[in-house]
Amino acid sequence: MEDMKQIALPLLFAALIGAPGHAQDQEQDPSLMEQGLELFFEGLRDEMSPALDDLRLLAEEFGPAMQGFLQEMGPALADIASQVEDWSTYEMPEILPNGDIIIRKKPVQDESEQPESGGQTDI
């Protein structure tokens, strides 16, 4: 996808700038660059259409449930997010058999347990 952006952006820029005098010659046939750009975007639209349709169906299926979840849990999640300074110090959430969700803090490694390198790396 990144390669496509690297190709599409210069082509789009070139098409927007157009050839000199293009604004005056609106009745002239489209240039090869314009035709190529039209074909490129038509092909891109055709290729992306199934994925976009799937995404739309997914949004229709999960949208109402996610909206309800965010309305109920949003304030509590915002409160938790404001209290946590660094999410990397926590383990992945664990769901218990009774449905409770636990987010454990990772064990803190004592400074005495950490190897001292003296600022150098052994190879």
With respect to residue 38, please indicate whether it lies within any of the assigned structural domains.
yes
With respect to residue 35, please indicate whether it lies within any of the assigned structural domains.
yes
> What's the rounded Cα separation, in Å, for the pair 36 and 11?
9
> What's the rounded Cα separation, in Å, for the pair 37 and 72?
47
Q: How does pLDDT run across 82-123, given as a tens digit for each residue? A: 888 888 888 998 999 999 989 898 988 766 655 555 556 666
Q: Name 15's Cβ contacts closer than 8 Å, sequence gap at least 6.
A: 33, 34, 37
With respect to residue 14, please indicate whether it lies within any of the assigned structural domains.
no
Total domains in the fold of the chain: 1
User: H helices within the chain, ranges in order?
Assistant: 2-17, 32-83
For residue 11, give the nearest of 32, 28, 26 by alpha carbon.
32
Residue-level pLDDT at 68: 84
Q: Name 44's Cβ contacts closer than 8 Å, sequence gap at least 6.
A: 4, 8
Mean pLDDT, residues 28-52: 86
pLDDT at 26 over 60: no
At position 57, the amino acid (one-letter code) is L
Q: Which domain holds residue 84?
A: 31-105
With respect to residue 114, please indicate whether it lies within any of the assigned structural domains.
no
Helix 2-17 with 32-83: angle, nearest 10 deg: 130
pLDDT at 11 over 70: no
pTM of the model: 0.33
Q: How does pLDDT run across 47-87, given as a tens digit for each residue? A: 888 888 888 888 888 888 888 888 888 888 888 888 888 88
Q: CB of 11 within 8 A of CB of 41?
A: no
Residue-level pLDDT at 16: 58
With respect to residue 98, please indicate whether it lies within any of the assigned structural domains.
yes
Tokens in use for 102?
């636990």
Residue with tokens 């390198």: 117
